[in-house]
A and B are shown apart, each in its own frame.
Chain A
Amino acid sequence: MNIQLKPDEISALLRRQMQMVDRPVDVAEVGTVLSVGDGIARVDGLSNVMYNELVETEDGVAGLALNLEEDSVGIAILDDVTRVREGDLFRRTGRVVSVPVGRALEGRVVDALGRPLDGKGPVISDDMMPVEGFAPSIIERKNVCEPMQTGILAIDALTPIGRGQRELIIGDRKTGKTTLAIDTILNQAGTGVRCFYVAVGQKLSTVAALHKLLVEHGAMSYTTIILSNASEPAPLQYLAPYTGCAMAEYWRDRGGHALVIYDDLTKHAQAYRQMSLLLRRPPGREAFPGDIFYLHSRLLERAAKLSDEKGGGSLTALPIVETQANDISAYIPTNVISITDGQIFLEAGLFHEGQRPAINPGISVSRVGGDAQVKAMKQTAGPLRVLLAQYRELEAFMRFSSDLDANTLEQLSVGRSLMRVLRQAPNQPVAVHKQVAVLYAGTQKALVKVPDNRVPDVVKALYEAVDTRESGQAYTARFNAKPVMDDELKGMLNELIEETVKKYRKS
């Protein structure tokens, strides 16, 4: 970037800036730091400070007034805590924590206060929004009705997500939770959906790798990363999801569509627990404070599909929760499950068997996404859950009995081919019309006679056929014009599948 600044322009800029900041007399309401430690300051004074108000020291160290007690105020320090000493003054700002929002954030990596972390200069935005906002009321909302395609066949078919929905991604560590979320971001290219990835308490190296991946796939142009890594103070980790939500709300309120990923709310809850204990709030179950449910419910309630009168915007939330040993009945998982509109459960066992994404179709549900599912997909995926359930049951039975009738063997074969079809490599989202084609082949038992190890080749060939063959292009055009699985579309698909699959069948 070539910047040429003239001395007189610099002088003018400085003069203007000085005029803006120069005040001969400054009146402020202040409090004196009595003690400071572990990111929490106790302050004497600030008798009129509001809950959640932003306060600042003379050096500009920001804090959040969280505990308003009779004798003192408990302040969570949002900056470098070593810059605050006993006897320092905190002053009221009269405003709650606000962050820059809007186009200036596209492609940026910022911290929980919206400050840049990517070395691309300051985030200059005309608009600011408070990080804590109210969820839209009932009359401002509308039922989820538009699909939020993730590009992941297993999700789009079995647990479809709609714009404005809150779908939990839950599973043990290293089961592919973040990969699902990132794939969903990749699949939003060209859809107009703004994506916000909130990394809470994560390793910087992990986030750097994710950022690189998004850049390589050209997804950073519509994505913002809000980063509060594991080395940052707990108050910043606590704030980060609300910051991401506020940035996404900006688009929702202007009729746009936003997707926000909270990775992950387990660490967010732990950061809040740390803060609450240091603020001497009474601990409850697992030492979490009493308002731990409210912590997540007020965040996730802000995800919504707005009514047409309100512009029809949407904010979709994909919170991530980590479990221990597949235990979804722990405290935080049950809380978040009860708040969200469904969950995608990733099972470590399936992951190690090579079934990736390791989605357990039995426990995973989407309570509202079905209404938003593409019609053709809904029609095609209808029998899928039943077929998979039958397969899992028979598979367990097969371990004890070797003498199976032909019908059972066919059911097993169908189930196996479907499980193979649902396997998908990371960072390769698939368009919905291709998903429908492959799924149709699976549910119509077209892959039964294909050897198990050749199913991935057939899937790949089918994807290519949709793009390259004349019959495939005709199918795509018809699908885009009217995505309903009628006789015409079925005929086109049958022809395409027959052409593609025949050379892979067992002789």
Chain B
Amino acid sequence: MSQTVAQIIERCQMLFDDLHFTSVKEWKAAVPGRKAIGFMPVYVPREIIHAAGMLPVGIMGGGDQLEVIQGDAYYQSYICRIPRSTLELGLTGRLDCLDGMLFPSICDVIRNLSGMWQILFKDKYVRYFDVPQNYQDGVGGQYYIHEMQVLRDDIGRLAGKPITDDALRASIAVYNENRRAVQALYKYRAAKPWQAPTSEVYLVLRAGMVLPVEDYTQLVRDYIAATDAVARPMRDNARIVLTGAFCEQPPLSLIKSIEMAGCYIVDDDFMLVMRMLFDDVVETGDPLDALSKSFLHRSMQTSSKYDESKKDKGKYLLDSTKLNGGEGVIFAAPSFCDPALLERPMLQSVLNEHKIPYTAFKYAENTGQMAPIREQAGTFADSIKLWSAA
């Protein structure tokens, strides 16, 4: 029997709320010897972990429900919150179910956290995972293929057997399927945002951080089908693109507040790992080469990646706004987030050139007071409506 939206969202909400990662533990317990590898935002090639029969688990911080006590002792007040809540998760044993942890090259905070993890969790596999900022196949590509090969060897050792090319190609196919499903979800939301509110879509995306990819692809498809089956009222909301939330996550109540204030979110940069690569990775030939080419030539622009030339800056945001019928942009960045906050003025100047309205605010994953944000988003939505009516 097909599930209702309420049932699907309830399941996602449970996964989201569970800071003990019970689903990961259950997955591991189902077959003795299974292993799970955590990763932080924004991107790692999960195909490599999957190909070893392991579960990649996205660690997106502690959210607003976790009381951070120990983690705070490791960070000054002027550093964002995600590293401290992630440490809290680790130090309180909540991440014991992970056999390793990957720290992607996104910023100096996550970079340094990789070393802290090496010191504090000596019995776990820890790796800082670098991606190239040079996008030539023979230069950055070669480097990246080597880095992936190291990861592949390490994970293979952890699994007790090497990861074969065939296994990798099969995993690429599985993730291609998943990419298509997630893209379909984004497309669906952009077309009918009243049918797929972001407060739901967000929970669906978060489920993808802990569920096995095969189940998750099904869940995404189920959600689209279930929500499309029952019409919901369409409101005269402003269509906005939300950007800047690629690492530390806003509280769910913030997303709800934006929607309640009269905005439909038609694109965002949540959980980029699932959309980092724009399209299918080639399923034949050398799999690492294929993953590399996709990353170098067909991947998302985000603050942690270098833009080769001035004209590239803001291109994705602009295209996305146009393509998705966005009427404005909300810059929502974590406090003290250098990558998001340094990127912001550049993106804003591009929007200015194209006369696209925007508004900006900062948040922390545990921001409690939503009234100011609701008010700001409301004013922004109203101004967009006035603008379009004029």
Whether A associates with B in a native complex is no
A residues with CB within 8 A of B: none
